[in-house]
């Protein structure tokens, strides 16, 4: 199953975000989107520019930290599986890094 959806609304919103208000709307979308949907969109999120990826990853980390330890472990496992299915090492590293507490 290909979990990457380059045509997802969230990824398109991130790609098209140019103004401050666009970036805020993008961050709010990441904050309110169901985690299961976000996990499916991780490869597309990882392909965004550095700035947009940083915004998304900070919001995702905040949400991750709010989860129970059991759910955190499950999210790390799922993200690792998704990253393992990505051919590009840099994208895989970005995906795994979202749930790495040693990062910002």
- How many alpha carbons lie under 13 Å from residue 87 in its C-beta half-sphere? 1
pLDDT tens digits, 47-101? 999 999 999 999 999 999 899 999 999 999 999 999 999 999 999 999 999 887 5
Residue with tokens 């398109």: 12
Pull the structure tokens for residue 68: 């129970």
Q: Where are the domains of the chain?
A: 9-98
pLDDT at res. 100? 75
The continuous run of DSSP H or E covering 84 comes out as helix 69-84
3-state secondary structure at position 73 = helix
Q: How far are the Cα atoms of 17, 20, 96 from residue 9, in angstroms, in the given order?
A: 12, 18, 22
Quote the pTM value: 0.84
Length of the chain: 104
80 or 104, which is more confident: 80
């Amino acid at each position: 199953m290909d979990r990457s959806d380059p045509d997802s609304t969230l990824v398109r919103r991130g790609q098209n975000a140019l103004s401050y208000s666009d970036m805020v709307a993008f961050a709010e979308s990441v904050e309110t989107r169901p985690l299961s949907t976000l996990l499916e969109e991780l490869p597309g999120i990882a392909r965004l520019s550095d700035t947009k990826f940083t915004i998304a990853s900070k919001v995702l980390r905040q949400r991750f930290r709010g989860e129970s330890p059991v759910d955190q472990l499950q999210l790390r496992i799922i993200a690792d599986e998704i990253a393992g299915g990505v051919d590009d090492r840099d994208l895989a590293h970005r995906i795994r890094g979202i749930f790495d507490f040693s990062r910002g």
